[in-house]
Structure 1
Amino acid sequence: MKMKTNTTPPGSRSRLWMAVPAIAFGGIGIELLLMSAGFPYAALAGIAGCVIASFILFYQAYLKPRRDIVSLFVPLYAVLIFIVPNDISSGVIVQAFYAATITLLAVRLEKLFNAPKQEKKTMKQMLNEYIARIEPFLAPIDEETGHLVAQALLTYKFELYGNAAGKIAEALARLDTIAPHPGTLERALLILRERAGGFAESRVITSPEHTFMKEDYDALAIRLRPDQIESPAALDLDNALILLYAVGIETSPDDEQALEEHQRFIVQILESYKNKLTA
């Protein structure tokens, strides 16, 4: 799954498009002058102007970050109309109509296809960007605490809820030795412990005691508007799992490989919010 974020550089803002009507109508003008002088092959000037202008339009379209299929195929139309033998007249009227058409295409291309193209970002990229964003938050967390956090997350993932609660208790005790006190991480562990305890006792927690607070917002991966939140408890749990993953993989080298093997679990959480994150 993907979401929109990055953009490619915008297309050229040059006046290349002006060459299309200039050459197309310029060729027709030269044709009319040659016809008035009695030149037998005067029509070639108008035809050449239309064909050359078509290739310029193609080049203009090729340079844009967003591609216009119609403009890219214009040279083919020019060849079929003016060069390949057919029943279509290649006289001044047809040339003028064709020149007007590609002029409109050139203007349309410049106005509608010059905007930056939005690229897609995978949820894995979003996860990596989130981890980079909270790097200052991760800095005070030592390796031992990170290991306990990673083990708490992994045992929860393996549905060993009793063991997960024990690891969480150890991690919470370690947090008391860290300054400044990582309150957001503490709340993430408490949220997970409460949920693990519920699963261990086969009970459903509808009104959790522990939740994230307003000051935690910047350290969370999934940040939604109030009207987008269907279940605050589910959102808190998902944010807690992602935060614990980020802490473990960044601060506990011993658990890095194990966490990477279960990265898909975290990515799937992000994917479940894809539509809301891209709204």
Structure 2
Amino acid sequence: MNETKSLEKHGDTITPWMELAVPLFSFGGAALAIIFWKFNILLDIRISLLGCVIASCILAYLAWNQPRKDIVALSTPIYSLVFLASPPDILPAIILELLYAVSLTILLVRFKHRYSTRESHVARDDTLAGSLKTYVERTRGMLTGTLPDTADLATDVFIKFAEGEYREAALSAKAVTTNNAALTRAFSIVAEQATLLDQSLPRPSTYGTFLPGDSDFLAISPPPDAADDNNFDITLDNALLLLFSAAWNGPGKDRVYLQPVLSFAHRLIESD
């Protein structure tokens, strides 16, 4: 309960103020430069440029706190520091500051719609149903002790794969080691098959699988007479579902990020 309240406070109070601070500082810096120019105040133009630097850092911080990293938003402080290091004359600086402020605001809107998950409310966490709910509850005890960082990684990999970002999913899942052997194999399987999907490669003759001792962790039992292609697909589905369960049963904050891809998890377990 305390964790939920803390997350709600962070999402509903802190983040909106930080989002508001991005245009406030960037346009505020431009307004300060206009005042310098209008009243012929002889001050270093870099004072007004600091507004863009601060706004860029805030935007980068907001982007860093999301499971899906917006590289463009994360890199904005670099451009602002270059801007600060080589300031132009005051009139060109005003124009550039205004354009930069507009760009940061557009990036903020883009970030909120494409990368931010704040709009998914914590109260919506309990939305699992059917076979997926049964599986997640069944494996909860077996995944007890999963480290928070591992749950975060599982969340990141599952979301990237669900959204078709196979290369990024493979990179995130590659060489992950956990305190659970079956979960470690799940990361490895997803890394391998995501790479194949990204490069449009056919099924290899040998590929990573779960061990017989991992059967309790699996959501889908392959039919005894299943063809190799079917087993290959079921192995991937089981790996993804195990990552989903690790993410969902981890720290409650990760459930918020999984909300937009719940339908993908349901399709995985219900399609076989």
TM-score by length of 1: 0.48
> Whose helix proportion is higher, 1 or 2?
2
